[in-house]
Amino acid sequence: MEEKRVVVTGMGAVTPIGHGLEAFWNGLISGKNGIGKVTHFDPQDYRSHMAAEVRNFDAGQWVGKKIINRFDRFSVFAIAASVMAFKDAGLDRFEFEAEKAGVIIGSGIGGSETIQDGAKKINEKGPSAISPFFIPSVLINMAASLVSIRLGFKGSLAAPSVACSTGGNAIGEAYRMIQRGNEVLMAAGSGETAINPLPYAGFCALRAMSQRNDDMEHASRPFDKKRDGFVMGEGSGIVILEELEHAKARGAHIYAELIGYGNTADAYHYTAPHPEADGMIRVMQEAIHDAEITPEQVEYINAHGTSTALNDQAECLAIKKTFAGSLDKLQITSIKSMIGHLLGGAGSVEFIATVMSVQEGIIPPTINTTELDNECELNVVLGKALKKDINIAATNNFGFGGGNASLLLKKYVD
């Protein structure tokens, strides 16, 4: 069976540095820092006091009041980003076949805010205080389901949860659905809103987050010798993927073509990456093989780049081994330096950034990083954005439990 070509025709984002595609992209290329002191709760008793929060977001522009009041913010963000992407793709002005339009939207943790609030209510007021919307609100699949209802997409429905590689997996699996002819349209991505006491305390207990509380703006510093952990972020990124001929027939704007996807497991440890970067290497090789290109053709990697010692070192090792013959011309960046680590929401937001880099010929900077770790001496774009014509780019995501996802994008040529 001949595989279909898949293109990106719409994008929406709710992020710590901007709401909507234009604001997000402008924030990235200007090196905007979205990190500051936690305001969602008092962080004084926690090891870390900082986060990249979504602030001043008027969800009512995109989501109905009943949904906002009844469901967890991770679903609200995903619905908002989906409506943005839907309109950006021009689907609000086009009659599509609903049965051939699917939704794959995941989350790493899901409705953690609702769980936190529910536990407080039941302790203070008893079981009668729990809302009938509690269970629907906390379910990881609810973001995908609510988007399906809102957009009228009646095809396949799924909600992957693979920790920090969730967004990459969601987009990759949606790509497969179109590539194999199951669907012609897919809304795909992820969302996360875990900046609340319980998950935040959990990551503090793991000692995974930065404790640079006296210099929060510079705390997220991927690949830097002085990095001391990630900074938690929140948000959602949703894309509209479309079968090429379907997109052309309706005159859609095409941002880029998705040409490769890899998905592997380390099968090693529940938090640490494989010390020899085995799964990371294989996932990039798998994406390259799927795209039917060579490693030398990849010009830019939007890296996972968490700002943690083990993850950064493993990713740098994987890049060195996978692209050994072309490291001199390979540019790398990590936008987590600006938006923090969105956990399950990271992959989809970073995919959107990579699409924009391919279309606009601009690589966002890695801010805060001043001295590269000896293990990470690569061509990391530091300080300010780099203008560079990009034909093929990769974006990587790696999650707790050893889940790895890699996606390859190509500049669209008819």
- Cα dist from 197 to 68, 110, 123, 125, whole Å: 21, 14, 16, 20
Query: How many residues would you count in the chain?
Result: 414
Residue 196, classed as helix, strand or coil, is: coil
Annotate 17-68 with DSSP letters as a single string: TEESHHHHHHHHHTT----EE--SS--TTSS--EEB---S--GGGTS-HHHH
Whole-model pTM: value is 0.98
Q: Token digits for 227?
A: 């990095």
Residue with tokens 């920790």: 163
341 is catalytic: yes
Q: List every span in the chain annotated with CATH 3.40.47.10.
A: 7-249, 261-410
Task: Give CA torsion, residues 327, 331, 337, 343, to 10 deg.
Answer: -80
Q: What is the CATH number of domain 7-249?
A: 3.40.47.10
Q: What is the CATH number of domain 261-410?
A: 3.40.47.10
What confidence score (pLDDT) does residue 413 get? Answer: 87
What confidence score (pLDDT) does residue 302 get? Answer: 98
Considering all CA atoms of the chain, what is the largest pairwise distance in Å, rounded to the nearest integer?
Answer: 64
**Spatial separation of the C-alpha atoms in residues 409 and 358, rounded to whole Å:** 8
What confidence score (pLDDT) does residue 2 get? Answer: 83
Q: What's the DSSP call for residue 313?
A: H
Q: Residue 88: enclosing H or E segment and its boundaries?
A: helix 73-88
164 is catalytic: yes
Pairing of strands 403-410, 392-399: antiparallel
Q: Token digits for 319?
A: 């890049």
Helices 21-29 and 346-360, axial angle in degrees (round to 10): 80
Say which amino acid occupies 13: A
Going residue by residue through the chain, which has 414 residues, state the pLDDT in tens, using 9 for 90 and above: 689 999 999 999 999 999 999 999 999 999 999 999 999 999 999 999 999 999 999 999 999 999 999 999 999 999 999 999 999 999 998 899 999 999 999 999 999 999 999 999 999 999 999 999 999 999 999 999 999 999 999 999 999 999 999 999 999 999 999 999 999 999 999 999 999 999 999 999 999 999 999 999 999 999 999 999 999 999 999 999 999 999 999 999 999 999 999 999 999 999 999 999 999 999 999 999 999 999 999 999 999 999 999 999 999 999 999 999 999 999 999 999 999 999 999 999 999 999 999 999 999 999 999 999 999 999 999 999 999 999 999 999 999 999 999 999 999 988
**Spatial separation of the C-alpha atoms in residues 373 and 371, rounded to whole Å:** 7
Residue 372, classed as helix, strand or coil, is: strand
| Cβ atoms < 10 Å from Cβ of 252 | 20
Options 19, 164, 246, 274, the catalytic residue: 164
**Spatial separation of the C-alpha atoms in residues 144 and 124, rounded to whole Å:** 32
Q: Token digits for 344?
A: 């399950």
Taking a C-beta distance cutoff of 8 angstroms, is the pair 235, 80 a contact? no
Options 19, 246, 274, 304, the catalytic residue: 304
What confidence score (pLDDT) does residue 1 get? Answer: 67
**Spatial separation of the C-alpha atoms in residues 44 and 201, rounded to whole Å:** 12
Options 19, 49, 274, 341, the catalytic residue: 341
